[in-house]
């Protein structure tokens, strides 16, 4: 009998809808499959998910590491969801050295969040900020490197907060240095981080260590001072731009991505234009646009001056177009240079992967190159598919 585990998100109402749709499709296409649902939606509204077809167990975020244990117990309760506010550490995981078909491996070092952003449910569904002791992080990384992964991605809900709950002066910069000291590591990438958490020590690593990818995905949300204040994001757009300028000084050519919310309550046309201006001035090439979604239980849900849905959709499209314009500029600068791509897939002689700057690429490739770091000459860009075009032959390089 098949077992399917669905790990859900609940950041927006749309993510909830997609999770329900996926569970129903799995039940329809795999009759008799046992479906276990976990993650943030499961933590927030377990009863909604327990009633869906095929679901045999709903686990909260604090219980999902015990999945096999709870399945083997065959307990009577269909819902096992505890109070995440009581969590004090990131649960020990079963040894993990494989990520299915993925070419890169993900290394969780932190979970939960102590921020109080007005729009966000994460503290309610993931609990307080907790860090994985760096010794355990290093041990997991060694296992993944030994399994053949050439790129590791350091992840966390609030990555910049790593170590604040630990003793001994642990920081994101410290654990990053420890990982970069491991033999056999191809390259290291940081996942989403608040730009204001890019402190001096982390910037020194960006400046001095080429194996730390020249890419930063930033949790910006808005470029307007007043909107950021209402969101609870701390300092304004100028502080964000100042930190980005310091990052660019440390690592010229760094490629930036960002999460941005459109239509937050009270966002005027001028406030929205400030976000567009930040994207263009900071040259944020890889943007994730989130139309504001009111979530019950957050401060933003009760805020006045909501933005009409039609206006949110129109602004979202305008912001995406601004991001596409920046992408074309950034991609154009790459043409004629050398990129090192992690080969994620090879099909019919065409490889696809991500550059050091997390720009999508396509290039002629052999199937045995999958999962490898491949130097390629960048010979063009395709704005339609948003891919750089590479040519390994121009490198006179044979990875085999």
What secondary structure, in 3-state letters, does 175-237 show?
HHHHHHCCCCCCEEEECCECHHHCCHHHHHHHHHCCCECCEEEEEEECCCHHHHHHHCCCCCH
34-39 sheet: strands from edge to edge: 3-8, 34-39, 55-59, 79-80
Q: Using CA atoms, how far apart are residues 99 and 106, in angstroms rounded to an integer? A: 8
Which range has the worst mean pLDDT, 56-65, 114-123, 148-157, 391-400? 391-400
Q: Mean pLDDT across the stretch 74-78?
A: 66
Percentage above 70 pLDDT, the chain: 94
Task: Give pLDDT, residue 316.
Answer: 98
Q: Taking the CA atoms of the chain, what radius of gyration do you get in angstroms?
A: 22
Q: What percent of the chain has pLDDT over 90?
A: 83
Predicted confidence (pLDDT) per residue in 115-174, tens digit: 989 999 999 999 999 999 999 999 999 999 999 999 999 999 999 999 999 988 789 999
Q: Considering only CA atoms, which of 198, 205, 213, 211 is closest in space to residue 253?
A: 213
Q: Region 230-234: what's the mean pLDDT? A: 93
Residue 140: strand, helix, or coil: helix
Higher pLDDT, 324 or 66: 324
For position 70, what pLDDT does the model report? 81
pLDDT at position 68, please? 80
What is the band of 66 on the pLDDT scale with cuts at 50, 70, 90? confident
In eight-state DSSP terms, residue 128 is S
91 pLDDT tier (thresholds 50, 70, 90) = confident
Distances (CA, A) of 192 to 6, 20, 94, 257, 398: 23, 26, 25, 9, 34
Residue 92 banded pLDDT, cuts 50, 70, 90: confident
Q: What is the pLDDT of residues 282-292, one digit of tens each?
A: 999 999 999 99
The answer to whether 240 and 258 are in contact (CB under 8 A) is no
CA-CA-CA-CA torsion sign (185, 165, 156, 244): negative
Burial class (CB in 10 A: 0-12, 13-18, 19+), 305: exposed
Burial of 266 (0-12, 13-18, 19+ CB in 10 A): middle
Is the per-residue pLDDT at 88 higher than 90? Answer: no
Question: Is pLDDT above 90 for 98?
Answer: no
99 confidence band (pLDDT: 50, 70, 90): low
**Is the pLDDT reported for residue 245 higher than 90?**
yes
For residue 196, give Cα distances in angstroms to 108, 158, 220, 235. 21, 12, 9, 9
pLDDT of 65 reads 84
* Confidence bin at 87 (pLDDT 50/70/90): confident
* Better-predicted residue by pLDDT, 72 or 301: 301
Backbone φ and ψ for 244, nearest 5 degrees, come out as -65, -40
* Structural domains of the chain, ranges and CATH numbers in brackets: 3-82 (no CATH), 105-330 (3.80.30.20), 338-395 (2.40.50)
In eight-state DSSP terms, residue 245 is H
pLDDT of residue 74: 63
Give the whole-angstrom CA distance, residue 147 versus residue 38. 27
First vs last C-alpha separation in the chain: 41
* Tokens (6 digits) for 274: 């400030």
Cα–Cα distance, 381 to 333 (Å, whole number): 10
- Is pLDDT above 90 for 77? no
Mean pLDDT of the chain: 93
Q: Where are the strands (E) in 1-41, listed by range?
A: 3-8, 34-39
pLDDT tens digits for range 5-40:
999 999 888 999 999 999 999 999 999 899 999 999
- Residue 268 DSSP code: -
Q: Quick check: 175 and 163 in contact, CB under 8 A?
A: yes
For 335-353, what is the HEC assignment?
CCCEEEEEEEEEECCEEEE
For the record, the structure tokens of 8 come out as 């859900």
Quick check: 101 pLDDT over 70? no
Does residue 72 have a pLDDT over 80?
no
What stretch of H or E contains 249? helix 237-250
Residues 160, 343: Cα–Cα separation, whole Å: 28
pLDDT of residue 298: 94
């Amino acid at each position: 009998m098949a077992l399917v585990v669905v790990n859900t998100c609940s950041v927006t109402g749309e993510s909830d809808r997609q999770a329900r749709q996926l569970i129903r499709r799995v039940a329809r296409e795999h009759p008799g499959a046992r479906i276990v649902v976990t993650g943030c939606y499961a933590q927030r509204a377990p009863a909604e998910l327990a009633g869906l077809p095929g679901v045999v167990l709903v686990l909260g975020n604090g219980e999902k590491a015990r999945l096999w244990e709870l399945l083997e117990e065959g307990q009577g309760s269909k819902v096992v969801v505890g109070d995440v506010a009581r969590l004090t550490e990131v649960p020990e995981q079963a040894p993990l050295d494989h990520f299915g078909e993925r070419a890169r491996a993900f290394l969780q070092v932190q979970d939960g969040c102590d921020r109080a952003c007005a729009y966000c449910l994460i503290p309610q569904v993931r609990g307080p900020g907790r860090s994985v002791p760096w010794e355990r992080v290093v041990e997991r990384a060694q296992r993944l490197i030994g399994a053949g992964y050439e790129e590791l991605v350091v992840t966390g809900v609030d990555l910049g907060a790593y170590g604040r709950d630990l003793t001994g002066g642990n920081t994101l910069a410290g654990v990053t240095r420890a990982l970069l000291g491991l033999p056999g590591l191809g390259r290291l990438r940081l996942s989403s981080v608040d730009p204001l958490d890019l402190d001096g020590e982390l910037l020194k690593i960006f400046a001095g260590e080429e194996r730390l990818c020249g890419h930063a995905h930033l949790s910006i949300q808005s470029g307007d001072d007043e909107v950021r204040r209402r969101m609870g994001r701390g300092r304004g757009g100028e502080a964000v731009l100042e930190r980005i300028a310091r990052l660019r000084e440390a690592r010229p050519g760094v490629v930036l991505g960002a999460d941005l919310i459109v239509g937050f309550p009270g966002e005027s046309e001028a406030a929205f234009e400030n976000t567009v201006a930040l994207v263009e001035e900071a040259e944020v090439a890889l943007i994730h646009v989130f139309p504001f979604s009111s979530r019950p239980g957050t401060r933003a849900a009760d805020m006045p001056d909501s933005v009409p849905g039609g206006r949110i959709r129109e602004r979202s499209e305008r912001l995406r177009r601004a991001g596409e314009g920046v992408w074309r500029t950034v991609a154009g600068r790459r043409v004629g240079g050398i990129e090192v791509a992690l080969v994620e897939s090879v099909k019919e002689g065409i490889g696809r992967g991500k550059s050091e700057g997390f720009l999508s690429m396509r290039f002629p490739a052999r199937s045995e190159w999958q999962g490898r770091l491949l130097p390629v000459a960048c010979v063009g860009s395709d704005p339609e598919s948003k891919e750089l075009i590479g040519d390994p032959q121009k490198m006179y390089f044979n990875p085999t």
